[in-house]
Amino acid sequence: MKKKTTRKKSVARRNGRNGIDRLTIEKIKEAAAGIHQSILQGRKPGMKFPVRALSNVHYSPSKGFFELGRRKKERTLTVTTIKTFAQTLKLMELSKELVETDDFATKRDAYYQSKNWGEARFDEQSESDAVMDDIEALFSLYGISREQLRFYPEEHGGAVAGELIVIDRDPETGERIEIDCTRFGTGSYSIPHSVEHLEFKTKAKFVLAIETGGMYQRLQNQKFWKKANCILVEMGGVPTRATRRFVRRLSEAARIPVYAFVDCDPYGISNIYRTLKVGSGNAAHINKFFCVPHARFLGVTPQDIIDYDLPTHPLKEVDIKRAKDALKNDPFFQQHREWVRALKQLLKMGVRAEQQALAKWGLNYVIEEYLPAKLKNPKKFLP
Amino acid sequence: MKSANVRTHRQQGSQKVAPAPLGEQLPPVAPSTASTRRGRGNAPQRLETAQSLARKQREISVSEFFLKNRHLLGFDNPQKALLTAVKEAVDNSLDACEQAGILPDLRIEIEQLSEERFRIAVEDNGPGIVRHQIPKVFGKLLYGSKFHTLLQQRGQQGIGISAAGMYGQLTTGKPVVITSRTGPTREAHHFRIAIDTTRNKPKILEDSTIAWNKPHGTRVELELEGVYRKGARSVDQYVAQTAIANPHARIVYRSPRGEEIVYERATDQLPPRPLEIRPHPYGVELGALIEMLRRSSSRTLKAALQSDFSRVSPRVAAEICARAEVDPDRSPARLTPQEVERLFHAIPQVKIMAPPTNCLSPIGEEQILAGLQHVGAAFYTAVTRPPAVYRGNPFQIEAGIAYGGDLPVDGLVELMRFANRVPLLYQQSACAIFKAVMSVDWRNYGLSQAKGALPSGPCVIFVHMASAWVPFTSESKEAIASYPEILKEIRLALQECGRRLGAHIRRGRRLAEERKRRSYIEQYLPIIGESLQSILGLSDRQRQQTVTTLQTILERSRKR
């Protein structure tokens, strides 16, 4: 066992990714050492976690995303907290092991791993998820994400096609692999669970993040990325952590803008686009890794419905509620007058339109007319 | 139908108060419903009708009254009828044994003859009944030793067992079979008795002597239509509760399913004999007052007041007479109804000492604890309150609580209500005991309680009211009326029991918590040690030291 660990460790080092990994291990050790010290000094040990409640979450206009406030809760080791305390330590121990062996565990994996922990085992995955969220919040303070702790989400990322070369490594040998995203034919490159180690080579001018699989498929099959010199990313509804992190890292590495192309309805605007851009309140501790603050909203805008005379459906009850809620409670939308105007316009019109409504003017109208027209004037995109 | 109703109402009134044509002389005594109905029904010739009705009244038998009003006596549906018949026979047996100073040894048998037909038999080791009385006791309604005395006992009116016999006869046509023996040197008499329902007289079908292995006792057998069910308000429940409230009785019960359950005697101590008392002036009703004075053997009113009532001294008698403006030397039998009414209204204005309470025979805390053992709980407590008085009637409340053990954890607590040791199974929500239980906040005592419901938990609540005159809400004796004094006493008894229960529950919780904490620490400390060892690369000795130190820290904080 020990031997294997050292071998894997050397693999990790060979890959040159030991910088962040060293930090992760260092911080885990630091936390454990703090506890150990307290005990030796005869004090009750404790751990301080940022409070993850919504009351401790606020929107930072300068950074452009939701972030955690400074409030912390201390979990002191007492008789009542001893179980959670033991579980937290065990999860940290697991994380350290995963980093050292260059392995990973999904949330579900971690839950099953705990079945080896005797009385400290988790009875439900929701329990292990909660403890994991605490650890994630704790380490986010040091700029360490959950993926760096080697806890990977279950869901994988979306599809990618276009003028991009992703530099990955062979999971077995650590060998460098270049993946050309133009060479998938009618298929696509699929974003992996963890994207921290990826590097990028691209000459594209922007990233186009698309809500629906249908629209993505059309743009990909017509090689729109070639025409517009861009990278297509399929989000498939609300983007997963991996997708958001991929888009973020890609756009920062290549210094190119991100444009969102979603349905014109409150769900597309306030759930999909907003989550991509500023993250969610529920997971404020991870937003700093996962949001794409410089994303902009290409369409479909409420004004597009009028300009392009799109076929519509009436807004549903939930749509209206969602839009009103965004106007009333969401600091991101309140921050931008353009959005307030757009949402009010949408509510006044009382209708919604899907991306694919553009097919009214012909199946490839979106490629030949709509997108080129829009892309001529990126400054007009909604913030 | 309407006139029949009127007659029965009047009949009931006159049976209770006086055979004399009271109604004509004293309209206020007659039940108001009867008088209004009479007025409405026969407005044009009111006087003649009232008089002719009064004549007819004597012709109508109590038995017929029963036929039309059997719901008043607890025979309103087949399930209840079976229970009531058993109950009446058992009440009589227990009363008889206790009055004779015999530790009761009862055998209750219920045999299912067909879907809805049962034969019940109740056998006791009581003093027996002398031969010539047997037909009257079992074949005549309202015959017995109990109605005319103010004495704490189970039965009150002498209506029960003969009513059961009549119900049996009515539904199956079968007579009541009685075997009774008054002593080892006497013969055992065997009777089969039917009831002549129009004349309220027994009809003797068989009168013989038989060989019986019992030295003394009585066995009553009757057939009736009924329905047997298990669970709440069943005969099973009645017998079980009777055993709890009568720990001095040994009861063998053979259910319709053929199972035989033996409730062994939990104590060899007979309850003390309750003493007979004279009524207290505060509790007497106008009709009863008229009747008592009319029948008094005293020659003067003041003497009658002193000798026929309790707690009436010469001074009190004089004060009552003075307030009523009635000459104390008048003959009590010759007073006019108006004078009696004045006396009646004068009584409450005179301060009279509370009645003596030595007439009460509570079960006693020890005996309640012994009886409750039958439920198999882990914790028991019981409280006997000092005697108290409502409307001149002395009474005494007792409460007990059994908790934990084999009692079911889910659901509401089981409330057992008793009046003079008789379980009350019906009309729970109309009963003062239920109301008092509901008025206590049981959450203070560690039980959970939803709003407007009985508390829940593995718990039996026992409440007993002992009194020479238990104020039932109806003739079928199912619920105790809610006099404020009674409610208050029940509450106080329950609260006392509740406090002890609360202390017990809290102690149990503390212990459980302590155990849990200890095992918690023992379970998770090694895991914390292992984690720290693995993350920090500690040696085994360092790990052990860390765990030991941490344990000391936690133990210290726990004690604080």
CB within 8 A of B526, min separation 6: which ones? B547
Do B549 and B504 belong to one domain?
yes
Find, among A111, A120, A121, A134, the residue nearest to A46 by Cα: A134
Q: How far is A287 from chain B (nearest CA, A)?
A: 28
| B353/B131 Cα distance (integer angstroms) | 44
Residue of A nearest to B530 (CA): A90
Do A124 and A187 belong to one domain?
no
**B531/A89 touch (CB, cutoff 8 Å), yes or no:** yes
Strand order in the sheet with B260-263: B201-210, B188-196, B176-181, B217-225, B117-124, B105-114, B250-254, B260-263
> In the A/B pair of chains, how many CB contacts fall below 8 A?
77
- In order, the DSSP letters of B476-518 are T--SB---HHHHHHHHHHHHHHHHHHHHHHHHHHHHHHHHHHH
Give the count of domains, chain B: 4
CATH number, domain at B377?
3.30.230.10
| B88/B157 Cα distance (integer angstroms) | 11
The region, left, alpha or beta by phi > 0 then psi within -120 to 50, assigned to residue B406 is alpha
Contacts of A120 in chain B (CB under 8 A): 523-524, 527
Do B395 and B340 belong to one domain?
no
CATH number, domain at B341?
1.10.8.50
Asked if the structure places residue B200 within a domain, the reply is yes
Do B228 and B307 belong to one domain?
no
* Residue from A26, A93, A94, A122 to probe the interface with B (highest B Cβ count within 10 Å): A93
Q: Give all strands (DSSP E) within B211-329, no chain letters.
A: 217-225, 250-254, 260-263
Do A139 and A213 belong to one domain?
no
**A85/B531 touch (CB, cutoff 8 Å), yes or no:** no
| CA dihedral sign of residues A348, A349, A350, A353 | negative
**A85/B532 touch (CB, cutoff 8 Å), yes or no:** no
Domain boundary among A83, A118, A152: A152
**A82/B546 touch (CB, cutoff 8 Å), yes or no:** no
Predicted pLDDT at B13: 37
Predicted pLDDT at B190: 94
Predicted pLDDT at B138: 79
Do B436 and B494 belong to one domain?
yes
Contacts of A5 in chain B (CB under 8 A): none
Do B216 and B144 belong to one domain?
yes
Type and span of the H or E element at B109: strand B105-114
Q: How far is A198 from chain B (nearest CA, A)?
A: 28
Note down the domain range covering B295: 281-348
Note down the domain range covering A309: 159-380
Segments in chain A below pLDDT 70? 1-18, 281-282
Do A148 and A166 belong to one domain?
no
Q: Helix (H, G, I), strand (E, B), or coil: what is residue B358?
A: coil
**A78/B557 touch (CB, cutoff 8 Å), yes or no:** yes
Neighbours of A221 (CB within 10 A): 13
Domain boundary among A132, A152, A172: A152
Q: Does B520 touch chain A (CB under 8 A)?
A: yes
Q: Does B517 touch chain A (CB under 8 A)?
A: yes
Predicted pLDDT at B3: 40
Do A195 and A67 belong to one domain?
no
Q: How far is A245 from chain B (nearest CA, A)?
A: 29
* Residue from B524, B534, B551, B553 to probe the interface with A (highest A Cβ count within 10 Å): B524
Q: Helix (H, G, I), strand (E, B), or coil: what is residue B16?
A: helix
Question: Is residue B105 within 8 Å of residue B125, measured between CB atoms?
Answer: yes
Do B129 and B179 belong to one domain?
yes
Do A91 and A180 belong to one domain?
no
Q: Helix (H, G, I), strand (E, B), or coil: what is residue B462?
A: strand
**A120/B524 touch (CB, cutoff 8 Å), yes or no:** yes
**B536/A28 touch (CB, cutoff 8 Å), yes or no:** no
Do B29 and B119 belong to one domain?
no
Predicted pLDDT at B111: 95
DSSP H helices in B32-117 = 32-41, 46-57, 62-68, 78-99
Active site residues of A: 112
Helix axis angle for B32-41 and B46-57, nearest 10°, is: 130
Domain boundary among B315, B333, B348: B348
Predicted pLDDT at B159: 61
* Residue from A2, A39, A78 to probe the interface with B (highest B Cβ count within 10 Å): A39
| B235/B228 Cα distance (integer angstroms) | 8
Asked if the structure places residue B273 within a domain, the reply is no
Do A130 and A210 belong to one domain?
no
Do A228 and A287 belong to one domain?
yes
Q: How far is B103 from chain A (nearest CA, A)?
A: 57
Find, among A22, A59, A30, the residue nearest to A331 by Cα: A59
DSSP H helices in A41-124 = 82-100, 107-113
Q: Does B554 touch chain A (CB under 8 A)?
A: yes
Q: How far is A210 from chain B (nearest CA, A)?
A: 44
Do B258 and B297 belong to one domain?
no
Chain segment B271-286, per-residue pLDDT in tens: 888 777 888 888 888 8
Do A173 and A214 belong to one domain?
yes
Residue of A nearest to B557 (CA): A78
The encoded tokens of residue B61 equal: 């038998």
Q: Which member of A36, A83, A118 has the closest CB to residue B532?
A: A36
**B553/A119 touch (CB, cutoff 8 Å), yes or no:** no
Do A186 and A325 belong to one domain?
yes
**B534/A117 touch (CB, cutoff 8 Å), yes or no:** no
Q: Helix (H, G, I), strand (E, B), or coil: what is residue B448?
A: strand
Q: How far is B449 from chain A (nearest CA, A)?
A: 27
Segments in chain B below pLDDT 50? 1-43, 45, 147-148, 560
Domain boundary among A115, A130, A152: A152
Do B16 and B92 belong to one domain?
no
Please state the φ and ψ torsions of residue A270, each to the nearest 5 degrees.
Answer: -90, -15
Question: Is residue B521 within 8 Å of residue A79, measured between CB atoms?
Answer: yes
CA torsion angle B205 B207 B212 B218 (round to 10): 70
Predicted pLDDT at B543: 92
Predicted pLDDT at B60: 59
**B527/A86 touch (CB, cutoff 8 Å), yes or no:** yes
* Residue from A84, A89, A135, A149 to probe the interface with B (highest B Cβ count within 10 Å): A89
Do A143 and A175 belong to one domain?
no
Q: Does B544 touch chain A (CB under 8 A)?
A: no
Chain segment B508-534, per-residue pLDDT in tens: 888 888 887 778 788 888 999 999 999
Do B86 and B211 belong to one domain?
yes
What are A121-130's contacts with CB under 8 Å, separation 24+? A122/A87, A127/A87, A128/A87, A128/A91
Asked if the structure places residue B478 within a domain, the reply is yes
| CA dihedral sign of residues B225, B230, B233, B239 | positive
CATH number, domain at A291?
3.40.1360.10
Q: How far is B537 from chain A (nearest CA, A)?
A: 10
Predicted pLDDT at B484: 92
Q: Is B54 exposed, middle or buried (0-12, 13-18, 19+ CB in 10 A)?
A: middle
Strand order in the sheet with A189-190: A189-190, A159-162, A230-234, A206-210, A258-261, A295-299
Cis peptide bond N-terminal to A79, omega within 30 = no
Domain boundary among B232, B263, B294: B263
Q: Does B205 touch chain A (CB under 8 A)?
A: no
Asked if the structure places residue B215 within a domain, the reply is yes
Give the count of domains, chain A: 2
Do B34 and B80 belong to one domain?
no
Do A144 and A167 belong to one domain?
no
Do B51 and B93 belong to one domain?
no
Instruction: For residue A267, give the DSSP letter.
Output: I
Asked if the structure places residue B269 within a domain, the reply is no
Residue length of chain B: 560
Question: Is residue B446 within 8 Å of residue B508, measured between CB atoms?
Answer: no
CATH number, domain at A70?
1.10.10.10
Contacts of A26 in chain B (CB under 8 A): none
**A89/B528 touch (CB, cutoff 8 Å), yes or no:** yes
Question: Is residue B394 within 8 Å of residue B467, measured between CB atoms?
Answer: yes
**A90/B531 touch (CB, cutoff 8 Å), yes or no:** yes
Strand partners, A58: A67
Q: Does B535 touch chain A (CB under 8 A)?
A: yes
